[in-house]
């Protein structure tokens, strides 16, 4: 039971970035929040399940490489997607493009960016003797649930503040990436 509680707490901490990104995407959502939440939940939950599983399989061989590169990769991916959202928010054809309908490629990049740290958690979990399938399942389901919730909350906020919602969402993504980078590099 103690290990399950530990896994759940790890899952919550890993899912916070995915939830924040989902809120950002939900802010710009013009369609169904439930559909967008389901889409983000499946992508983010799937990657949050797969990345620690890869980490468990890889073991400590790549842990130093992943830990060293993760902040830079995550920041670059989040800054790129966030910067694109801010740029597109102020383009004249803004009414013609629905950024809530992010391509699968962009959603995949967001899923990778928000789950890179889960790879390192998987490596650490293998060294700690944690159950890989239980750990990955709890992490994936938690990320799915919080991503879905984040998209719905973001949609509720976005309906009220639609004019600036897309730009704010992009800035939030950049901020999340910068925070992740600074936390890993400075401390």
The tens digit of pLDDT for each residue in 127-164 reads 677 899 999 999 999 999 999 999 998 888 766 665 56
CA-based angle 165:21:112, to the nearest 5?
Answer: 140
> What pLDDT, on a 0 to 100 scale, did the predictor assign at position 95?
44
pLDDT digits (tens, 9 = 90+) for 80-116: 767 776 777 677 654 433 444 678 888 999 899 888 8
Report how far residue 66's alpha carbon sits from residue 54's, in angstroms, rounded to the nearest whole number: 12
Can you tell me the mean pLDDT for 118-133?
A: 80
The highest-confidence range among 27-41, 98-112, 167-181, by mean pLDDT, is 27-41
Give the mean pLDDT of the chain: 79
Which residue in 96, 113, 93 sits closest to 24, CA to CA? 113
186/130 Cα distance (integer angstroms) = 29
């Amino acid at each position: 039971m103690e290990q399950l509680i530990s896994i759940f707490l790890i899952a919550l901490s890993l899912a916070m970035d995915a939830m924040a990104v989902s809120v950002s995407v939900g802010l710009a959502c013009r369609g169904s929040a439930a559909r967008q939440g389901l889409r983000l939940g499946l992508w983010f939950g799937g990657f949050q399940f797969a990345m620690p599983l890869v980490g468990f399989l890889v073991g400590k061989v790549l842990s130093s490489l992943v830990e060293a590169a993760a902040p830079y990769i995550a920041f670059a991916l989040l800054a790129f997607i966030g910067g694109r959202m801010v740029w597109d928010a102020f383009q004249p054809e803004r009414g013609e493009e629905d950024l809530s309908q992010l391509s699968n490629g962009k959603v995949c990049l967001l899923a990778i960016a928000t789950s890179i740290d889960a790879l390192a958690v998987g490596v650490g979990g293998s060294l700690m003797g944690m159950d890989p399938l239980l750990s990955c399942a709890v992490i994936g389901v938690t990320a799915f649930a919080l991503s879905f919730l984040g998209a719905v909350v973001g949609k509720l906020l976005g309906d009220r503040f639609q004019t600036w919602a897309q730009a704010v969402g992009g800035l939030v993504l950049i901020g999340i990436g910068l925070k992740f980078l600074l936390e890993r590099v400075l401390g």
